[in-house]
Amino acid sequence: MKCPWCEHLDNKVIDSRLNKDATITRRRRECLACGRRFTTYERLEVMLPMLVKKDGRRESWDRQKLTAGLEKACQKRNVSRDKIDCFVDDIEHKLQDYSAREIPSQVVGEWVMEGLPALDEVAYVRFASVYRQFKDVNEFMAELKTLLDSRDM
C-alpha cells in the first residue's frame, strides 16, 4: 500500500477491524518512511454482471457512481452515510444473485427506485427527477401521486 503523503511502499498495520457485517476490513497503517498514519478499507471483490446502458454500451459496475448519486439525492437530509452504504450493499447483493453475465442498467435503476422510498422519500423524489427524466411537471406530479398512494396503503 502506497503512503498517500510520501508515496513510500513500506508500511505496517497498526490495527485491523471488521465492520458490523464482517464484509469490510478497516486497517490503520503507519508509513515506515515518514511515520504518518492512514486508513485503508478492504472489501471482497466479486465478479458482478456488466451493465448494459440504454445506448448499448457496456460498463462495469461502479459502486462509487451509485453512492455519489444517492449522496446527492440525500443532500441536506437526515440520512447517514452508513444507511447509504447499506442501501448500496443491498443493490450489490442483488447483482451478485443475478444469474446472467450482463444486466440492463434500467433493472438496477428500478431496484434503486423500489428501495429509495424506505430510505428517504425526498431523496426518492430527487433521484426520480433525474432517473425518470421527466418531460414536464405533469409527469413529475404523477410520480408524486404514485408515491403518496403507495404510502397510504
Query: In the chain, what is the greatest distance between 2 CA atoms, to the nearest angstrom?
Result: 61
Residue 5 located in a structural domain: no
Helix %, strand %, coil % of the chain (to 5) = 45, 20, 35
Residues 119 and 70 in one domain: yes
Q: How far apart are CA 92 and CA 65, in angstroms?
A: 13
Please compute, for residue 55, the number of CA atoms within 13 A of its CA located in the half-sphere on the CB side: 2
What pLDDT score does 21 carry? 79
Residue 110 located in a structural domain: yes
What pLDDT score does 109 carry? 93
DSSP assignment, residue 138?
Answer: H
Residue 36 located in a structural domain: yes
What pLDDT score does 150 carry? 82
Residue 90 located in a structural domain: yes
What pLDDT score does 138 carry? 83
Residue 20 located in a structural domain: yes
Residues 82 and 97 in one domain: yes
Q: How far apart are CA 31 and CA 9, in angstroms?
A: 8
Beta bridge partner(s), residue 43: 24
Please write the tens of the pLDDT for every residue from 121-142. Answer: 999 888 888 878 888 888 888 8
Grid-cell match 497498526, residue found = 14
How many structural domains is the chain composed of?
2
Residues 25 and 71 in one domain: no
What pLDDT score does 82 carry? 92
Query: What are the residues whose beta carbons fall under 8 Å from the beta carbon of 58, sequence distance 6 or more?
Result: 50, 51, 52, 102
Listed in sequence order, the DSSP H helices in 74-136 are: 81-97, 105-119, 121-131
Q: What is the pLDDT along the chain (153 residues), one digit of tens a residue?
A: 899 999 999 999 999 999 887 888 999 999 999 999 999 999 877 788 999 999 999 999 999 999 999 999 999 999 999 999 999 999 999 998 998 999 999 999 999 999 999 999 999 888 888 878 888 888 888 888 888 888 776
C-alpha cell belonging to residue 10: 513500506
**Residue 148 carries which side chain, given as an amino acid letter?**
L
Nearest to 72 by CA among 105, 112, 43: 112
Residue 125 located in a structural domain: yes
Residues 120 and 95 in one domain: yes
Instruction: Look up the domain containing 116 and give its range.
Output: 50-152
